[in-house]
A = this chain, B = another copy of it.
Amino acid sequence: MPNRDVLKGDWLPNISVDCVIFGFQENHLKVLLLKFRNNKVWSLAGGFIGKEEDVEDAAKRVLWQRTGLENIYLQQFHTFGDLKRNIGAIEKHQEINLAMGRSNDDLNWLSLRYISIGYYALVDYLKVKVTLNELSDDSAWMDVDQIPALFLDHNEIIKTGLVHLRSSIDTKLAAFNLLPETFTMSELQKVYETILGKVLVRTNFQRKMLSLDILDRIEKKYSGGAHKAPYLYRLDRKKAEAFLSSAL
């Protein structure tokens, strides 16, 4: 896997990749954010594109560098290319540069104009081991509807990504990528509810999921809880693929 050093790499100029990394934690949809070192500015996980690197590989690499994960559900959704996406960032850049012990003219790479290709990733947040880079000194999973003002237009990127996620939840079975290998039906329902932003009727949801014929019920059940334990389900990869290809 590739060089992690953003500053020394042989990158394409003026282009970057930003990843909206979604995770599901405590019944909430969260986004992984990074905080600039010695600074209060938070941002998405982003990176540059190697001169000999596919754009998609760059996104995979960024995801891998920050989370340690590979083979993740990753979708390109929009490219952000307005000049004004940098507006308001100049002061922030100054803060960041100063905080990093660099002069503003010496390190103006951040102030250059960047066109950013937006990807969203769906991960099992329990599997994520966050690795910070030299630009950041903190990370956090933030609830999608409690996100502070971020670097550049990253708030808009998240919003746009969420819209795309929403529209692909049924056709691409996207929600399952946010859950661990096995899960209960009510956990699955919570994921759907969070992504869609509305509550669903349990019985109808259950019927719909089962009728898709993509789930295996594991006969082993939760241990420990009081009362009846919920069943665990697992996405059947073969059935899921059959479903996805039948939907065209």
Contact = CB atoms under 8 A, between A and B. Distances in A.
Contact of A52 (B13, B52, B83, B115): B83
Interface of A: 12-15, 49, 51-56, 58, 76, 78-79, 81-84, 113, 115, 117
A12 B13 CA distance: 8
A115 B49 contact: yes
B76 A78 contact: yes
27 contacts: A12-B13, A12-B14, A12-B113, A12-B115, A13-B13, A14-B14, A15-B15, A15-B115, A49-B115, A51-B113, A52-B83, A53-B83, A54-B81, A54-B83, A55-B79, A55-B81, A55-B82, A55-B115, A56-B81, A56-B82, A58-B81, A76-B78, A76-B79, A79-B79, A79-B117, A81-B117, A115-B117
A58 B78 CA distance: 16
Contacts of A79: 55, 76, 79, 117
Nearest to A117: B79
A131 to B, nearest CB: 24
Contacts of A51: 113
Contacts of A83: 52-54
